[in-house]
Chains A and B, each alone.
Chain A
């Protein structure tokens, strides 16, 4: 089995300084010059067994840039093109990075990736014209430009992750306690959702997901989904989506005569 890499870390203070200076640059093209595979103040996890080699960093950089060029970099990106770019980059980034999952939980790793390795793409995708000091898309917080895409693939897998709508995936992953924190729960939820979407094409898909997520959020106070085996988990999710579908059908019926 091939090794999983550990990535350089950019401390929070340094990341914020870099974010500030990058945010003042007008064009993403100028940030290519500022990008690098190293930073004098970057550190490594002290006992890391496999530090990522420079060549891999360059590969990641090139792969991401190639997709960005395909999405029209450096012209400012529109909202729909942005979502499309995310979809195309997520799996590629996941495969190329081969990052140790524990390392991917570090904010500093994603700060390095966004502000040192690929500032040209990161600030093109999420510009920071107001110079917000700790802009969550660009420092390594959970909604970071690359981190959330990596997490989506890691939790949901390439297949399911690709079939969910943007707001469905966000709805899953931003409920860490009840849903997104555990890949098994998240996948079971996504699978049940996709099955019910097929079975009930007449229901608004996003509404169905929201309704079920609300139910699961209440249920997770009583039931610990981590403790269920696969069969039980599937049964729970089916029950929840059935109830959600019934309640949507009921409210559609009652509003129809009006």
Chain B
């Protein structure tokens, strides 16, 4: 252990951690997720490439605990860390890993100048950050505080694989913060490092094979092969008094979906730029699939409408029930951003629930800054909208964000007194859209806000109407060529509870794909234009699966109809079985309830594709059964995802 002492000319102490006991609210874990995820996203290796982000929580196995308590952290500063490790009970840990990212590169000593990135010293050695770096450099600036705050003993173990001078390098170091203290007549700052003892620096990281082996021993196994990235283990994560580790991971997973859905969804045929995974005690913790989630789905759809307007010719096309508009500023006359919103029926109950009226605010890099409350709907409906700042004004909006990136504060972006401030203009006009709506009929306002219950009843009755022909109700997409090409329109769930769910084609054009112009209605048989196209398939799942006896035992056949006229050069459909539960979202099958996809069986031809994948081109038949094994004592549902054919 190297414990930093105060230099004779003074130092900054390491006391940036509050050690208060008592409750530790879930709000903190939301901040934690946003900080770590944004850092990972900013550190991506290839700006157009993908990032994998995962959080794994578990109780250390005896060997893992031993490697920490009696190995790396054998010497310990006074404070919480010692107490936790000396009790001898294996502690819990929470590990955040990103890959497809740079890793922590640059020199390992803060005093060496380097022309390149200095990610390692910025996270491990320095306090504060270089303001010239901006927030896009992908290092932990403000954010590193959350890592220490998250640990009850303010201790983390950092493992990273990065490229130094063109060669892959692994590094592992542990850090802890305590308050300043006196020992042997010397004053210590409270900052500690564990690694390889070094006469000058104190502690240098373990490097190379030694670092790899120790990471493996601790169970930090997400950085497989020679992928670069960073894995940070938070020791003894702080828990609220009746929330367990799993509750924290669930909150983190939910927050990731709430905050990063623009990157978790993808344009039809493209891969999402961000992939996330969450586990607790080795079991996967599910997170909502944004494009089919009841709450997030409408936001995803709104975002699509915004993108089309941003990337199109600037003429809003109205698509009922959506309201799509530009928010324009004056003096100078300019577009501040675009807004798409709609109202819909509320599903929530309880006296303390209000139908939410929220607009998700975002700018580049398209992570949700805030769900901004707007004036509620006078008739008690939910308002869902997305506002995307005009990319030309991105710097203004970025300047308006506090270090936590969770609000726009126009005052921060005010460059000189009395100057027109596009951020405050944007927020005022955005709020005005909903305020003005509210005062249209003041009588209506006073009378109907108290009658949310009637709206709820109407909403319940409305669900009985889904036998009406397609197109008249927004929940039932109109069949036809345009349905497949309208992103977001291909996503719906059947009404049958146990029957299954079809998820298809939700999402945004991201990565290399640009927004697709709506495909013009084309007669079947007309040759498609000769350019490579990313395709999309509309998938419809029928409500009732049928049980059949096969040589693999009892199986369930889920009838599926495909509209593959827009399938382009090919789309891969992937069937994923899920196990239904009484409380909560369907879960992935596991060892206790195994479910496998036998294959795709054509209903019209004698054709079988074994396994979960089916490659669809415009020539493929449209009527299929997805056959899955039926486990004893469980109900199975099905989700169909689609991906572009990779060549």
Q: Is the CB of A221 within 8 A of B581?
A: yes
Residues of A within 8 A of B634 (CB): 218-219, 221-222
Residues of B within 8 A of A220 (CB): 581-583
Q: How far is the CB of B404 from chain A (nearest CB, A)?
A: 14
- A175 in contact (CB, < 8 A): yes
Q: Is the CB of B580 within 8 A of A218?
A: yes
- A186 in contact (CB, < 8 A): no
Q: Is the CB of B244 within 8 A of A218?
A: no
Q: How large is the interface on B (under 10, 10 to 19, 20 to 34, 35 or more residues)?
A: 20 to 34
Q: Is the CB of A166 within 8 A of B583?
A: no
Complex CA distance for A175 and B587, rounded to whole angstroms:
15
Residues of B within 8 A of A16 (CB): 352
Choose among B242, B350, B581, B593 the residue that contacts A167 (Cβ–Cβ < 8 A).
Answer: B242
| Contacts A170-B242, A222-B633, A222-B635; A217 near B350 (Cβ below 8 A) | no
Q: Is the CB of A218 within 8 A of B22?
A: no
Q: How far is the CB of B582 from chain A (nearest CB, A)?
A: 4
* Interface majority SS (helix, strand, loop, mixed), chain B: loop
- B443 in contact (CB, < 8 A): no
| Contacts A221-B581, A221-B582; A215 near B351 (Cβ below 8 A) | no
Complex CA distance for A104 and B418, rounded to whole angstroms:
56
- A205 in contact (CB, < 8 A): no
Residues of A within 8 A of B580 (CB): 218, 221
Within 8 A of A (CB), among B332-360: 350-352
- A78 in contact (CB, < 8 A): yes
Complex CA distance for A141 and B580, rounded to whole angstroms:
27
Residues of A within 8 A of B184 (CB): none
| Contacts A108-B351, A176-B583, A178-B583; A79 near B241 (Cβ below 8 A) | yes
- A76 in contact (CB, < 8 A): yes
Complex CA distance for A128 and B581, rounded to whole angstroms:
34
- A235 in contact (CB, < 8 A): no
Chain B 603-647, CB within 8 Å of chain A: the 1/0 string? 000000000000000000000000000000111000000000000
Which of B63, B350, B351, B580 has its CB near the most chain A CB atoms (within 10 A)? B351
Complex CA distance for A218 and B352, rounded to whole angstroms:
30
- B421 in contact (CB, < 8 A): no
Q: Is the CB of A217 within 8 A of B583?
A: yes
Complex CA distance for A130 and B351, rounded to whole angstroms:
22
Q: How far is the CB of B101 from chain A (nearest CB, A)?
A: 31
Q: How far is the CB of A214 from chain B (nearest CB, A)?
A: 8
Residues of A within 8 A of B241 (CB): 79, 82-83
- B579 in contact (CB, < 8 A): yes
Q: Tell me how many residue pairs across A and B have CB atoms closer than 8 Å.
A: 78
**In the complex, what residue of chain A is closest to B631 when comparing beta carbons?**
A218
Residues of A within 8 A of B351 (CB): 11-12, 107-108, 140
Q: Is the CB of B581 within 8 A of A79?
A: no
Count A-side interface residues using an 8 Å CB cutoff: 39
Complex CA distance for A219 and B581, rounded to whole angstroms:
8
| Contacts A79-B22, A82-B241; A221 near B352 (Cβ below 8 A) | no
Q: How far is the CB of B596 from chain A (nearest CB, A)?
A: 17
Residues of A within 8 A of B23 (CB): 79, 126-127
Q: How far is the CB of B189 from chain A (nearest CB, A)?
A: 29
| Contacts A178-B581, A222-B634; A215 near B592 (Cβ below 8 A) | yes
- B25 in contact (CB, < 8 A): yes
- B584 in contact (CB, < 8 A): yes
Within 8 A of A (CB), among B468-506: 498
- B7 in contact (CB, < 8 A): no
Q: How far is the CB of B180 from chain A (nearest CB, A)?
A: 25
Residues of B within 8 A of A219 (CB): 633-634
Q: Is the CB of A166 within 8 A of B635?
A: no
Complex CA distance for A107 and B591, rounded to whole angstroms:
41
Q: Is the CB of A218 within 8 A of B633?
A: yes
**In the complex, what residue of chain B is closest to A225 when comparing beta carbons?**
B582
Residues of B within 8 A of A258 (CB): 63
Q: Is the CB of B581 within 8 A of A218?
A: yes
Q: Is the CB of B244 within 8 A of A167?
A: yes
Q: How far is the CB of A251 from chain B (nearest CB, A)?
A: 9
- A118 in contact (CB, < 8 A): no
Q: Which 8 A-B pairs have the closest CB atoms?
A: A220-B582, A178-B582, A12-B351, A177-B582, A217-B581, A175-B583, A79-B241, A221-B635
8 further interface pairs, Cβ-Cβ under 8 Å (given A12-B351, A217-B581):
A11-B351, A130-B25, A175-B582, A218-B587, A218-B633, A219-B633, A220-B583, A247-B592
Q: What are 8 A-B residue pairs whose CB atoms fall within 8 Å in the complex?
A: A79-B241, A107-B352, A140-B352, A217-B582, A217-B583, A219-B633, A220-B581, A258-B63
